[in-house]
Amino acid sequence: MEVIAKIDNVTKSYGKKEALSNVTFDVHPGEIIGLLGPNGSGKTTLIKILNSLIADYSGNIEIDGHSIGVHSKSVISYLPDEPYFEGWQKGTDVLEIFIDMYKDFDYDRCIRLLERFQIDPVMRFKEMSKGMKEKFLLALVMSRNAKVIILDEPIGGVDPAAREIILDTILENYSEEQTIIMSTHLIADIERIFNRVIFLKEGSVVLDDDVESIRMQTGKSIDELFREEFR
């Protein structure tokens, strides 16, 4: 099977504490992977490593055949756990930056998504609610035709109705050649869109399996299994 990302034996320590221990898995095109674990399990650390934001780790990572760097940045569309806009900036300022920075950015699609989210891009970010900022960022990230989409807690700050729209948006806007890796702790709302889940516990992978096999073998939902594992 074709591999788009190879994560091999990745370990990251903060002082004596290991945030990630020998994390190893392959990612294939077309997958929607749920990266699941409680706060402090290493999800965001791993995602930051994949997005060149943390460099001092050990182990090997290959994305689209290249190590982390300029190429990996160009093929990953990343939604960070905290929006990075300045309050005085307008939505349109950030749209211009995306047009300049990313060749694969589909401006028309982004405008359509913003209309659907009922966000006027001439607004300044300080005028937007947390949920609006999250949706604005999601529209940007889902409008890149990138090979890998990494979403760190994409539905954390929005109400359940908006979650539905966000999930629909993800399903409608991803193509079979793309891969989505999504971290979340809100599993019940979202598990139906995963085909595979990876459980991180204290920096280690404790489960990595196809979701339908898990349901078949355990008779449990991913949410239930998660609650048992991390009780």
Partner 1 sequence: MNFDPNIPIYLQIMDEFKKNIVSNNFTLGSKVKSVRDLAIEYGVNPNTVQRALSELEREGLLRSERTSGRYISDDEELIKKLKVEQATAIVDRFISDMRALGFTNKMIMETIEKSIQKDED
Name the residues that contact partner 1, by CB under 8 A.
30-32, 164, 167-168, 171-172, 176, 188, 191-195, 211-212, 215-216, 219-224
Helix (H) or strand (E) holding 118: none
Q: DSSP strand E in 102-203: where?
A: 148-152, 179-184, 196-201
In the complex, what is the shortest distance from the CB of residue 208 to partner 1, in angstroms, rounded to a whole number? 16
110 SS3 class: helix
In the complex, what is the shortest distance from the CB of residue 201 to partner 1, in angstroms, rounded to a whole number? 21
In the complex, what is the shortest distance from the CB of residue 32 to partner 1, in angstroms, rounded to a whole number? 6
In the complex, what is the shortest distance from the CB of residue 158 to partner 1, in angstroms, rounded to a whole number? 16
Positive or negative torsion for Cα 98, 103, 104, 105: positive
Cβ–Cβ under 8 Å, residues 160 and 189: yes
Q: Considering the complex, state which of residue 98 and residue 230 has its C-beta at the smaller distance from partner 1.
A: 230
135 SS3 class: helix
170 SS3 class: helix
Residue 125 forms beta bridges with which residues?
A: none
Q: Which two tokens stand for residue 1?
A: 């099977």
Task: Report DSSP state, residue 124.
Answer: B
Cβ–Cβ under 8 Å, residues 179 and 29: yes
Q: Considering the complex, state which of residue 27 and residue 94 has its C-beta at the smaller distance from partner 1.
A: 27
In the complex, what is the shortest distance from the CB of residue 76 to partner 1, in angstroms, rounded to a whole number? 21
In the complex, what is the shortest distance from the CB of residue 217 to partner 1, in angstroms, rounded to a whole number? 10
